[in-house]
Structure 1
Amino acid sequence: MALVLGVLMYPVSPTSAQSSDLDAPLEVVVFGERDTLRGVVSEHLNDPDLWPYVLELNAIASPAAVVPGTELQMPVKQVRAADAALAKALKAIQAANAEGAQVFAPVEIGQALENREAAVGQREVGAWVEVVDLSDIATLLAMEALDISIAQRDRAAEAVVSDVQGDVEGRAPEEPRWSGRGLNDVLVEFERVRTLSDSTTQVTFRDLSRLRLNANSNATIQRMRSDPLTGTEVTKVSLVNGDFYALLNQLSEKTAFEVDVPGVETTTNSGDFWIKNDATGARFVNYDTPALQVSDGNETIQINENEGLVLTSSGAQRAEVLDAPALEQPALGAILYDGFAPLGWSAFEGAEGYWVEVAVDPGFNQMQVSEWGVRGTTLDTAPLPPRTYHWRVAALDRLGLPGQWSVPQSFTLRVDETPPFLTLLAPGDGEIVTQPAIEIFGASEPDAEVQLNGAPVPLGADGSFIVETTLTPGPNILTLRAVDAAGNESATAQTVVYRPAAQVDVSLSPTLPRLGNALATRSGELSVFAASTAAEGADVLVQSGGTEVLRAVVGPAGAISFSVPASETPQGYTLAVLGPSGLIEGRLDFEVIQDRTPPETTLDSPPPKATDLDEIELIGDAGDAAQLTINGADVPLDQGRFAVSLSLVQGLNLFDLVATDTVGNVNATRLQTLYDIDPPDVQSVEVGRPKGANGPIEIVVQASDPSGLRQAASFLLQVGAQEREGFLRCDSAAGLCRAALPPEAGALELIEVVIEDYAGNAAFR
C-alpha cells in the first residue's frame, strides 16, 4: 500500500537527460572469441546477473547459442540512467536519516525505502523506466522526510517505537488497560512498554539513543524533557522486570540518560550497557570505556569497561564478562538459497549459553531473531524473507551476564530459480575423431559445480574450463551438468564419434603409372589396384574432399580395384576399408592426375653433321620418360639422364630416339650424322688471267664431297719470281672454289692447293 500511495502522491517524470538515455537506442555489442556471457554483461551493464535478461531481450533461447560473432543488443544508457536514479535516491534517504527521519518522519522515510526497494526489484527484470520513476519517488519522499525532520528538531518530540518483533504492548498514563504497540508509535512520559514471550522491541529517543527490550520485559518511560533554550535532553527509564540493551547517543554533552531498577539507581556516561531485573536480583554489564555507576542508597559501585555486576539480597558480586566468540558459519558474505540460515560459532570456555541476534541492518535496529540462553554452538533460524542479514553472538557466563558481542557478520538469503549458464564450445556435435582422448572446452557460472559424465570439472576464474576425457570406439555421449549454489541445474549433451586409427594395411599396386607422387593416366579415368590385409567382402569407401565417390568390396586375398575420374589438375582421394560396425579400419590417401604431355628429350650437345670417327656419344635428359630407345634398342636411364655410344658406318647414319612415359605418351626424335673418311674429289684446277695479260689472276678449282666442302681452301701460287698464298672461297653446293688476285706480271705456277671436307679429310693438288 505504501508503494501505491507513493506513486499517487508524487507523480514524477524523468529529467530530460534521463528521458534521453531511457529513449536512446540499444547499443550493439559483438561477442568475441575470448568473451564469456557474464563477463560481457558485467562490462556493459555493471551486473553479470542480468545475463538472463539480455538473452530474453535478444530472443536467444539458450546461452549456448551465443557464439563468437553474435551481436547482442544492450541497454547501456538505460542502465546508466537507472543506476544514477537509484544512487540519487539512496543519497537522499541517507541525508534524511542523518537528520532523524526514522524518528520524526517514519512514514515518509519508510515509503521512500519501499519505493527504492521496489526500484531495485524492477532493475532485476530490466524495467528501466519503472526503476527511474520509483527512484525519483523515493528521492522526493526522502526530501520531504528531511524537511519534516529538520522542522521537528526545532521543537519537542517524544520517543517512538522503532522496531517491533512479536507482541509488544503499551499503556499511556490516560489508558485504563494495555494495548498493542506498532512500528512508529509515539511514546509519551510515564508510558509503560512491555514485551511478551518471543518478542522484542526497540525504543528510539529524540537524541537517537536506543533501548532494546528483550522478551518478557517491562519498562516505564519516566521522564523525557527538552530545554529549547539550552538544547539539554534528559531521559529517565525505569526497568520493572526483564532486560534491555542500551546504545546511547554520546555526541552531545547536553544529553543525560538515567535508568532505574527498583531499589537501585544508575547514572552513566557509558553509551553501551545491558541491564536485567528479575526476582533473583539485578544484573548490569558495561561494554563502554566510561563507567556505569550503580547505587542502592547505601553504596555506589562503579562498573568499568567489559565488567559485570550482580546485586542480590546477599550483596554485590563483580565479574569480568566473557570475550566474544568467533562466528564460523555461514561464511562472511555467504549467499544462501533455501530461506534458512544455519548459524554456527566456536565454543567458548566458561560459557553457560549464548545470546544470538539477527537483524536486517548492521546497527541491529530492526531485529529478526533474538534468542537468549541458546545451548550448544548452533542455531537454525525460522524461514526468513530474502534479503541481507547481520548477526552476532555473545557468550553468557554462570552469573547470566552476557559477554562482549562478536564482530557482526552478514549473509544474504536469495531466491534464485534461474538455471546456471552452461555452454559446450568444443567439440562439435557429431564430430568424428581418430584419437582415444579429446579436450572438452566450455564455460559456466564461476560458482557453479560442473560435471562431465559425472566427474567434477574444475572451472577457471571466469567460469571457463578445458578438460580431457577418454573415448571408446564408436559414438560417445558427452553430458555436462552444472548446478549453482541455489540448486538450479542446467545440462547439455553432445555426441563424439571415435573411429580408431587404421588397423588394416592398405597399399597401392607398384605397377600403377605415376607422375611424381600422383597416379597418372592418359584417359579421363584411372583404374586403381590395391592390396590389403582386409577380409574378403569388407566394404570399401572412396571419398574426395569429404564427398563419397564410390563404394566397392574387398576381393579375394585382400585385392581392391576400382576406377576414379582423372583430370589435368591433381585430385585427392581417400580409400577407407570399413569394419562390420562401419568404423574405419584402414585408410590410404592418394592423388590422381591425367597426363597427356609426352616426355621432353634434350641433348647436352647435338651430334656432328659429319665426322671421320667411327663412333659418337649422345648424352642428354629424357624428362619423365620411363623408357628410351635408339633405333629400337633400349637405352639405360638414371633419374631421367642417359649416355650412349653409337657406332657409325661409312656414309649417312640415321638414329631414331624414342622416349615413352609411364602412361604411354611418346616423343620421337630423328638424329643423323655422316661418317666420311675419303678426301674431297678434285675434278679440275685452273689458274690464269681470263681478262687479259694485265687483268686479275684467278684460281678456280672444281671439287665435291658427300660431307660438303669447307668454306676456305688454302693455296700457294708463284707469280714470276714471287710466291703468293691465300685462301679460296668454296661453294659446297656448286662444287667450286675460287680466288681472285690483283694484276701482277709474271709466269703463273700453282704450287699447292688444299681442299678439305667437313669430316676433316683433305685433298692436295
Structure 2
Amino acid sequence: MRTKQPSLFEIEWLVLSKRSVYIFITLLLLGIALGSALIYFWRHGNPFKNDEATIRTGARFLSFEGDVRVVRAQTRETVQVNANTQLFPGDIVQTQTDGRARILLADGSTLLVRPNSVVTIRDNQIIDGGQQTNVRVAVERGQINVRTEEQTDKTNNIIETRLTESRLAAQTGASFGVREDNTEDIRVSTGSIETTTRSGEKTVIRAGEYLAINQMGNIARREHLLDVPIPTAPRDLERIIVRAGSSSSIVLRWQRPSTGTPAYYRVEVATSPFFVATGKVIERDQLTSTEFNVGELRPGVYYWRVCAVAPSGQVSEWSEPQKFSIIVAQDSARLVVWDVETEYVAGNIYIVRGRTQPGNTVRIAGRETLAARDGSFRLQVAIPAGTRELSVEAEDSQGHRERYRFPIGERSR
C-alpha cells in the first residue's frame, strides 16, 4: 500500500501558518502590556516624574545630648542616635531623662526636643523642585520648641498633638507641651500660629500669647505669655574659688520676666545639666524675691535654672542651665590635657572629648567649657576643612595656661 507524500505547497503552507500564530501571540502580549501601562499612567501619573518632583528628605540632627533614640518606621528597630543618623517620615524620636536633640527639617525650620519627650516625624518632603515643602511633626509626650524661617505660599509646617493641630507661620518661635495629665499648652514668643482643637475650636495665637487646653480639647485659658526669667549670677561658666577643705555659699540672682507678672519663682541646682532626680542638690519653690542664697556647696561643677509662675498658674519655661564651678585654690603645678578624641558630626562640625584637672577651663576653636568633677570635658566645635591638628588650651583658676596639639580623628594620649 502506497502512502501519499505531502506536496511542497502543503509543507510551506503549514510552516507559514505557525509563524503567523507566533507573531499574533507576540503582538497580543505587547498590546496587553502597552494597554496596562497606559491605564497605570492614566490612573497614577508618571512614576518617573514623581521621583523627580517629590524628594523625601531625611531630617538631620544638628546636635544631641544624653540618651536619644530613634524607632525606625519600616523595621520598628530602636537605634541609638549618632552623628550620621537621619530621620525619615514615620520615624519616632525618643529622648530620655538626660536627653535632648535639635533637628533640622526640610523647610529650614528647627525642632528642639526636650528631655522625656516622644515625637514622630510624620512628613518631611520637598515637592516640585523646591517650590513646596511639607513638614508635619506629632508630639505624643513631652515638650518641643519650634522655630520657622522664611516661607513661601506653598510651605506647610504643621505640629500635631492629641488635642490640637497647629499651622506655623514664617518667622515663628513657639513651644508645645503635652503633659502626663493629658492637658496641653502652646506658647508663642514670635510670629503666629493657626490652631484647631479637637473640639473644633479655631483660633490664631499671636506673639506673646499663651494657650492652655484641657483634657476635652477645649481652650481652658488664654492669657499673656509669662516670659522666662533671665539668670544674672553666677554667670555661665563662672569659677568660684574656695580654700581647701571649705565649702561656699552662693547667691543666685535673676531678672524678672520681660513679659507677664510672676507670683513666685522656682529654682533648681544640680550636678547634671538635665536636672535628673539623682543629680539635684537644691529645689526651692514659692520664692518671691529675685535672688536665693544656696549654702554649703562643696567643690565641684553645678548647674542652676529658674522659672516663673503666674497667679493664674501658668508656668514659664525654664531658663537655659547656667554652669558654674566651685574649685579649690591650686598651686602652679603644670596643667595637663590627655585622652583627647574627636568625633565627626557633619560638615566641619566635630565633638571633642578629653580630660584635664577638675575645674579647668578648656578652650578649643573659639569655644570654651569647664572640666567636670572627674576632669572630663566635651565641646562641639567647627574645624576648618583640611585642618590636621587640634589646638586645646587649658587654664586653671589662677590664670595659668597650657596649650596642647592633637591630631584630628585619632584618639590621643
> Following the alignment from structure 1 to structure 2, what is the Cα–Cα distance between the partners of residues 381 and 274?
36
Preserved CA contact (<8 Å) 1:192 1:220: yes
Residue equivalent to 2:203: 301
Offset of residue 235 of structure 1? 0.5
Residue equivalent to 2:410: none
Relative to structure 1, is the Cα distance of residues 400 and 211 closer, same or farther in structure 2, using a 3 angstrom cutoff?
farther
TM-score by length of 1: 0.29
Offset of residue 274 of structure 1? 0.8
Residue equivalent to 2:192: 290
Give the residue type in structure 2 aligned to 1:288.
Answer: T
What is the 5 A alignment of 1:550-569?
none
Relative to structure 1, is the Cα distance of residues 356 and 211 closer, same or farther in structure 2, using a 3 angstrom cutoff?
farther
> Following the alignment from structure 1 to structure 2, what is the Cα–Cα distance between the partners of residues 250 and 355?
37
Give the residue type in structure 2 aligned to 1:276.
Answer: G
CA RMSD of aligned residues (A): 4.6
Give 1:196's match in structure 2, choosing from 80, 96, 114. Answer: 96
Relative to structure 1, is the Cα distance of residues 383 and 204 closer, same or farther in structure 2, using a 3 angstrom cutoff?
farther
What is the 5 A alignment of 1:229-628?
229-250=129-150, 254-269=154-169, 271-278=172-179, 279-313=181-215, 315-316=218-219, 317-331=221-235, 334=238, 344-346=253-255, 349-351=262-264, 353=266, 369-371=273-275, 375=285, 394-397=307-310, 401-403=314-316, 419=332, 486=397
Preserved CA contact (<8 Å) 2:174 2:186: yes
> Following the alignment from structure 2 to structure 1, what is the Cα–Cα distance between the partners of residues 234 and 398?
17
Preserved CA contact (<8 Å) 1:160 1:204: yes
Relative to structure 1, is the Cα distance of residues 343 and 256 closer, same or farther in structure 2, using a 3 angstrom cutoff?
farther
> Following the alignment from structure 1 to structure 2, what is the Cα–Cα distance between the partners of residues 356 and 160?
32
How many pairs were matched up?
A: 258
> Following the alignment from structure 2 to structure 1, what is the Cα–Cα distance between the partners of residues 100 and 321?
21
> Following the alignment from structure 1 to structure 2, what is the Cα–Cα distance between the partners of residues 333 and 179?
33
Preserved CA contact (<8 Å) 1:219 1:240: yes
Offset of residue 157 of structure 1? 3.2
Q: Could you list the per-position Cα deviations for residues 681-720 of structure 1 after superposition, in whole angstroms to 9, with x for gaps in the alignment?
A: xxxxxxxxxxxxxxxxxxxxxxxxxxxxxxxxxxxxxxxx
Residue equivalent to 1:728: none
Preserved CA contact (<8 Å) 1:240 1:261: yes
SS of the equivalent of 1:197 reads coil
Q: Could you list the per-position Cα deviations for residues 621-679 of structure 1 after superposition, in whole angstroms to 9, with x for gaps in the alignment?
A: xxxxxxxxxxxxxxxxxxxxxxxxxxxxxxxxxxxxxxxxxxxxxxxxxxxxxxxxxxx
Offset of residue 411 of structure 1? 7.4
Give the residue type in structure 2 aligned to 1:298.
Answer: G
> Following the alignment from structure 2 to structure 1, what is the Cα–Cα distance between the partners of residues 147 and 270?
15
> Following the alignment from structure 2 to structure 1, what is the Cα–Cα distance between the partners of residues 214 and 268?
23
Relative to structure 1, is the Cα distance of residues 224 and 323 closer, same or farther in structure 2, using a 3 angstrom cutoff?
closer
> Following the alignment from structure 2 to structure 1, what is the Cα–Cα distance between the partners of residues 165 and 313?
21
Q: Could you list the per-position Cα deviations for residues 276-325 of structure 1 after superposition, in whole angstroms to 9, with x for gaps in the alignment?
A: 11333111111113344343252102222221111113632112222442
Unpaired runs of at least 5, structure 1? 1-153, 359-367, 421-483, 490-765
Relative to structure 1, is the Cα distance of residues 291 and 312 closer, same or farther in structure 2, using a 3 angstrom cutoff?
same
Residue equivalent to 2:75: 175
SS of the equivalent of 2:273 reads strand
Q: Could you list the per-position Cα deviations for residues 541-596 of structure 1 after superposition, in whole angstroms to 9, with x for gaps in the alignment?
A: xxxxxxxxxxxxxxxxxxxxxxxxxxxxxxxxxxxxxxxxxxxxxxxxxxxxxxxx
TM-score by length of 2: 0.50
- Structure 1 or 2: more strand by fraction: 2
Preserved CA contact (<8 Å) 2:164 2:195: no
What is the 5 A alignment of 1:88-127?
none
Relative to structure 1, is the Cα distance of residues 400 and 159 closer, same or farther in structure 2, using a 3 angstrom cutoff?
farther
Offset of residue 333 of structure 1? 8.1
Relative to structure 1, is the Cα distance of residues 294 and 397 closer, same or farther in structure 2, using a 3 angstrom cutoff?
farther
Preserved CA contact (<8 Å) 1:355 1:396: no
| Structure with bigger gyration radius | 1
Offset of residue 167 of structure 1? 1.5
> Following the alignment from structure 1 to structure 2, what is the Cα–Cα distance between the partners of residues 300 and 177?
38
Preserved CA contact (<8 Å) 1:283 1:401: no
Residue equivalent to 1:224: 124
Relative to structure 1, is the Cα distance of residues 253 and 400 closer, same or farther in structure 2, using a 3 angstrom cutoff?
farther
Give the residue type in structure 1 aligned to 2:308.
Answer: A
Preserved CA contact (<8 Å) 1:352 1:397: no
> Following the alignment from structure 2 to structure 1, what is the Cα–Cα distance between the partners of residues 315 and 299?
23
Preserved CA contact (<8 Å) 2:228 2:307: yes
Residue equivalent to 1:691: none
Unpaired runs of at least 5, structure 2? 1-53, 243-247, 277-282, 334-394, 401-413
Offset of residue 241 of structure 1? 1.3
Residue equivalent to 1:751: none
Give the residue type in structure 1 aligned to 2:223.
Answer: A
Q: Could you list the per-position Cα deviations for residues 488-521 of structure 1 after superposition, in whole angstroms to 9, with x for gaps in the alignment?
A: 89xxxxxxxxxxxxxxxxxxxxxxxxxxxxxxxx
Offset of residue 247 of structure 1? 1.7
> Following the alignment from structure 1 to structure 2, what is the Cα–Cα distance between the partners of residues 345 and 163?
28
> Following the alignment from structure 2 to structure 1, what is the Cα–Cα distance between the partners of residues 298 and 83?
23
> Following the alignment from structure 1 to structure 2, what is the Cα–Cα distance between the partners of residues 285 and 381?
38
Give the residue type in structure 2 aligned to 1:403.
Answer: S
